[in-house]
Structure 1
């Protein structure tokens, strides 16, 4: 990779640079130590028991947290705790005491997705920093403004933003931002992926992603299966590596560079952090040019590839290149490309090397299902190459040219290796040993600079003053500063006074501490007697005090009484806390995705019609025709799921078609409607999973809030409990093809076009109906929106019609049916069945039967299906056998 030009439009030079914070992942204690010793400024970690988006990591016990924070602070490193999942209604009561303990443990910040949880934390304490998680889907300045309004001190921006888009956000809003720079990429916007939920009830918004993006898919175009040769991993991005873009990110004022990887091992953490630390230090000491040179060091890049890599790219940071982002030919860890097979003879496999190899290295040979060639791998047993005397001689290692490799037959079968197969080096024991040496052994390798001032005056106590400048970043610029004095005043020396070189030597004996001597200032009377024993005693006393100060948890102001009851009292609720069936008639909202559907549905008289068209230019004419059919029918238009910099005018454009309101799906839409007093319904993508989040969105002006798709039936019923909130303010989606992946990656462009982005793709999305066929044969419809973002919808429709009696009993009033590709006649018949069910909830089962029988729907109850975690896992494995394989061995994960 090469360095990118300055991202700021019109600028000619990079601004003076302050190196950003380097933020590393820690899934366990070994990873924590690896991050510390290799130069991380901060570490983020999760707690066991839920509420962190990496539930499969080892994580840390809550009881360990004070020790974790003391360990980090002792080394001048900050610690952030992830609470970056959605919070369900019954969990709020447990979260308040959890947040209090996290704050009391000395945690520097919490990383949060749930808007209601942000409100709760800020009510508990003003002293615990809140960072808006990338799971909050912040893609524009409006999202940053919302986070700032709620009390967030930092925003982790969505990974789909380019350098230019980050620059645009920074120009609008002066709040620190954090950007991912290394690791696995989710294909879907974080916080907007419902694939694991749809296919098996394992929510990515709850830390249980099943990694369906790493599975093979086929493209069905206009009913015909496309021949994509070896490309089958159509939604599996390569990994992110932005080490050579650090100068540009620093110039934009990015506050923190984040490394993904809480599911990865300590060698990965050590190798990646070490390289990024070197680049940042070069940036601070020598400037952007030297930093870029360090970033592009070939040996360092090999280390990055070997620690974990599916191929390294800049992701979205330099803009969209759909063909580069997703290669499509593999999804697992591949590491370092070693070469191609040139021969197979006598158990020896010839390879034309593109990278170094030696005995003991782990290799994998690409498989090809089309040719019935299996993927195989193993460790190199022997290595030989042709000598000058025209014979094959064993060698210890080779870096280039033709070599022959031998493997144990227990590892692979040479008879199934073919000429032309690609070979990858996936493991290097020598490198692993070197990386482990950076954090093993218990002795600190990374040290804090300690500046000392020694004052020695006759007749006064000896005074030793110590400062740790690096600690100033820990607590709002507060410096770690200690002064110790001798118990007795100094007397005159009766023999040769100690030399300054000897003084430095005595004070520099810091080998058993985490400090190293920096600047030493000596102010003394030459005749003063300075015993070495006294100097040693004072040095030890000073470092001990520094240790105590560094590891003591900071004082935090916490609310003296529980705050949740007061927050709940502010939520709009029913006057009477009962669960009796409401007298208000049920209301039906229908979402249509083309004008023919909309006109057919308008004639049926729903209570609200919502339009979501691929081409926005169709809205004005369509709304006019609908009003000629049903003059009094309220019409809303759906906003896109995502609003990026420069896309704010879309809300004004939508309103030019004169709808009665909007279905709002992003922070920009919230801001627009609040500013311009536009009626709106808050949609599922705003992730309202508890009453505090619902109340926040109602406070923003929403007439109703759509319940999060992560909620099961029981959790929806909890949310609708009238003592929690007014159930008439929550909208329930009764019928839909759940939108699984919502992604900036365009499959149309990547695989149906010679182009690389929307400027040169030729818009195949306008001409073709495309579905992605998964490994069990289900064909999932793929749609593109106005921003060329793709949504993959579940092939099977989800219905809650059988649960209507319980929903009605709990007080739900508003229900929605979302159509997809149904022709007008079919769409009308479906809606009529739901209208009948809403008038008589007892016929839900018969409606379910009719939908299945008459329209071949093959309905599922989806998230309302009351599945246990065990049955969910079985279902996922049945659909996709490779799901659940641990990272580093199988597929690996992506989001933080």
Structure 2
């Protein structure tokens, strides 16, 4: 497969700039369901026109469907939204939501689906699941190393698309709730307010550990990988993706032109003849950057030099004259033959190497004084400006003494070119005859189970001991990284003696290092009395699929804002699903089938990041501990360093608590409620758990709500 250069198109002008600059494909958002809701985007006729424009030039066009969809959106909007673009010949959809994947596969079976980086598929195990479910391409997380990308290539017959230039999120894409929880603008809905770009003071033990010039510890620089291009290509990346749908046509065209230059250089000369010129790097930095560039994660797991630290200084295309944006439009080269003969319709034949049409137009008139000449006909027919074509030559067979008005010649040219365009585009068009009947599962089909269970997730042995002593707790999820797995059987036996189930809560990140570590203990865990696993990523499911006989519960990070996604997970073998944090009470009520688990207490993880706050500040001591980020409003966000697998989790400043809305919670009809304990002391764990037991198991309405809590999205929800 020829390496593809894939460019962003936040507007029709950006699309044309990218194509003119040498993009092999463009990606864009429509009016709905794209991860850049505030980009100009295209809709309706403009998007249909864009699809045709790209195809006329022999390029490809992909549309983003890379947000999470709510129940009513899948039921009432998605089919009608996609249908015209599907018929027009859209090449692929870039998808995040597994409910959308299931829907598209059923209703639009022959369009390609690409797994968005928002899916956060980090290795070969997840890539296998993608391939098994009809997904042809993975857009890799920006955090993957060249070695991890190579491992996917060697293991899976799936196309690999990776980012080579543009903005870098601090969180793993698709695993960030920070904007959502702090301001209601969800990154999973394309509305991220970028709280990572704000200033924070790092604290530990109530002391400041960051300097004034380190006020932006979670604001990454943009990436530029020109120097790494040969290594990226040799790792197996088949599509080089440029980020920037929120940026200008000058940016789309300028960055595309530079990467086109160096991709062509590599393909011509290989690694030996590859050299990046300093002025091209300076040009890219002037187009747009935040305090310069980094080369991202390809060669390093994380680094201080990837973060802006000081207040971000933006360069943008407004500061420079952009010659790349002034390049002329490209035109498809074609050929024309004309026959203008007495008493016959004018014959216009247009062709290229693969397409051929004959257009028959009006008849010529006898000339009164100035008959047509071949030169005049050729001159007029060559005026294809404003179209996507240019004639390499025009051959004319002309009888003597004939005349055609200039306006008629122009009309012949326009009509013939339109006929040629339709012939060229015919292969892209699709026909879909029947509209499907799309309806939600009815109320009578919901599986209401008697008795609501109460489960707990714990991260320390002290917390474990406290919840073990509470008879009403049915299931304990034990944190994988905090557990001595050689003792898992003994721990499970203790739980069973207390009539409790024991599940292992897997890490939120399951890259190669995690998979290799897990493999060492897997046989022991499978032979133990462990009841099951709490699965937090597609890679973990891919690892366990067909290997375990134990029960699987999919956590909230395996998003299921719609029942289509839940049905997909149930088809994969999940016993139950932890409901997502971003639905409100009304949406949950519509969404629930009766098998789910609802988190009613806990510090919600806002970000999972390969970056490390301590390391960025020069404080890395490889100790798994908590530090804090204080924002402008003096709110403290807990940052947990998970040194074994080297990632950070940033938690909300206040815990979620639904203790005071117990009547609404009970009315949902979920199978289980869950308490998530992270940084709580043993005493806090016991007190909080007992309060929830009193309310939800004992019906006590006099229990006071915990202090300093949030309802999360239970009342407000997200757009």
Fold match, TM over 0.5?
yes
Equivalent pair of 1:238/1:326 in contact (CA under 8 Å): yes
Structure 2 equivalent of residue 608 of structure 1: 475
Alignment equivalent of 1:836, drawn from 684, 694, 701 = 694
Counterparts of 1:516 and 1:796, CA distance in 2: 63
Structure 1 equivalent of residue 64 of structure 2: 82
Match of 2:253, SS? helix
Residues 65 and 584 of structure 1, relative CA distance in 2, 3 Å threshold: same
Alignment equivalent of 2:37, drawn from 41, 55, 58 = 55
Q: CA deviation at 1:868?
A: 7.9
Per-residue displacement from partner, 1:867-888 (whole Å, max 9, x unpaired)?
687xxxxxxxxxxxxxxxxxxx
Equivalent pair of 2:336/2:349 in contact (CA under 8 Å): yes
Q: CA deviation at 1:577?
A: 5.7
Counterparts of 2:87 and 2:661, CA distance in 1: 43
Match of 1:685, SS? coil
Alignment equivalent of 1:692, drawn from 564, 568, 579 = 564
Counterparts of 2:132 and 2:718, CA distance in 1: 38
Larger deviation, residues 202-211 vs 770-779: 770-779
Gaps of 5+ in 1: 1-17, 336-425, 439-443, 456-460, 469-478, 488-500, 754-760, 853-857, 870-896
Equivalent pair of 1:153/1:175 in contact (CA under 8 Å): yes
Equivalent pair of 1:100/1:124 in contact (CA under 8 Å): no
The within-5 A match list for 1:379-778 is: 430-432=320-322, 434-438=323-327, 445-450=329-334, 466-467=351-352, 479=354, 481-484=355-358, 513-515=387-389, 543-551=417-425, 554-558=428-432, 560-562=434-436, 564-565=438-439, 584-605=450-471, 606-612=473-479, 614-616=481-483, 618-621=484-487, 624-625=490-491, 627-628=493-494, 631=497, 632-645=499-512, 647-653=514-520, 655=522, 656-657=524-525, 658=528, 659-676=530-547, 677-720=549-592, 725=593, 727=594, 729-753=595-619, 762-763=621-622, 765-766=623-624, 768-778=625-635
Q: CA deviation at 1:574?
A: 7.3
Structure 1 equivalent of residue 5 of structure 2: 22
Residues 428 and 200 of structure 1, relative CA distance in 2, 3 Å threshold: closer
Match of 2:686, SS? helix
Residues 431 and 848 of structure 1, relative CA distance in 2, 3 Å threshold: farther
Per-residue displacement from partner, 1:436-467 (whole Å, max 9, x unpaired)?
423xxxxx522334479999xxxxx9996733
Match of 1:833, SS? helix
Counterparts of 1:42 and 1:134, CA distance in 2: 17
Per-residue displacement from partner, 1:691-742 (whole Å, max 9, x unpaired)?
111111111111110111221222111111xxxx3x1x11100011010110
Counterparts of 2:279 and 2:538, CA distance in 1: 43
Q: CA deviation at 1:250?
A: 2.8
Per-residue displacement from partner, 1:384-441 (whole Å, max 9, x unpaired)?
xxxxxxxxxxxxxxxxxxxxxxxxxxxxxxxxxxxxxxxxxx5655514x34423xxx
Equivalent pair of 1:70/1:550 in contact (CA under 8 Å): no
Do residues 242 (structure 1) and 225 (structure 2) align? yes
Match of 1:596, SS? helix
Alignment equivalent of 1:866, drawn from 710, 716, 719 = 716
Structure 1 equivalent of residue 670 of structure 2: 812
Equivalent pair of 2:532/2:550 in contact (CA under 8 Å): yes
Equivalent pair of 1:733/1:816 in contact (CA under 8 Å): yes
Per-residue displacement from partner, 1:161-211 (whole Å, max 9, x unpaired)?
111111110000011121111110001011100101221222110111110
Equivalent pair of 1:599/1:626 in contact (CA under 8 Å): no
Residues 208 and 540 of structure 1, relative CA distance in 2, 3 Å threshold: closer
Alignment equivalent of 1:308, drawn from 271, 275, 288 = 288
Equivalent pair of 2:296/2:306 in contact (CA under 8 Å): yes
Equivalent pair of 2:62/2:90 in contact (CA under 8 Å): yes
Alignment equivalent of 2:242, drawn from 259, 268, 271 = 259
Equivalent pair of 1:599/1:629 in contact (CA under 8 Å): no
Counterparts of 2:34 and 2:715, CA distance in 1: 24
Structure 2 equivalent of residue 411 of structure 1: none
TM-score normalised over the length of structure 2: 0.87
Match of 1:675, SS? coil
Residues 695 and 87 of structure 1, relative CA distance in 2, 3 Å threshold: same
Structure 2 equivalent of residue 795 of structure 1: 653
The within-5 A match list for 1:93-108 is: 93=75, 94-108=77-91
Per-residue displacement from partner, 1:801-833 (whole Å, max 9, x unpaired)?
233322322311211000111111220111011
RMSD over equivalenced CA pairs, Å: 3.4
Counterparts of 1:221 and 1:664, CA distance in 2: 31
Counterparts of 1:654 and 1:197, CA distance in 2: 36
Counterparts of 1:506 and 1:283, CA distance in 2: 42
Equivalent pair of 2:480/2:506 in contact (CA under 8 Å): no
Q: CA deviation at 1:288?
A: 4.0
Equivalent pair of 1:182/1:241 in contact (CA under 8 Å): yes
Counterparts of 1:51 and 1:323, CA distance in 2: 34
TM-score normalised over the length of structure 1: 0.70
Counterparts of 2:193 and 2:61, CA distance in 1: 28
Q: CA deviation at 1:561?
A: 3.7
Alignment equivalent of 1:156, drawn from 129, 139, 146 = 139
Q: CA deviation at 1:35?
A: 1.7
Per-residue displacement from partner, 1:283-327 (whole Å, max 9, x unpaired)?
33444444x32xx22222222111110121111122324112114
Counterparts of 2:100 and 2:313, CA distance in 1: 35
Q: CA deviation at 1:550?
A: 3.7
Gaps of 5+ in 2: 340-345, 362-374
Match of 2:282, SS? helix
Residues 530 and 96 of structure 1, relative CA distance in 2, 3 Å threshold: same
Counterparts of 1:76 and 1:482, CA distance in 2: 16
Equivalent pair of 1:597/1:823 in contact (CA under 8 Å): yes
Residues 819 and 190 of structure 1, relative CA distance in 2, 3 Å threshold: same
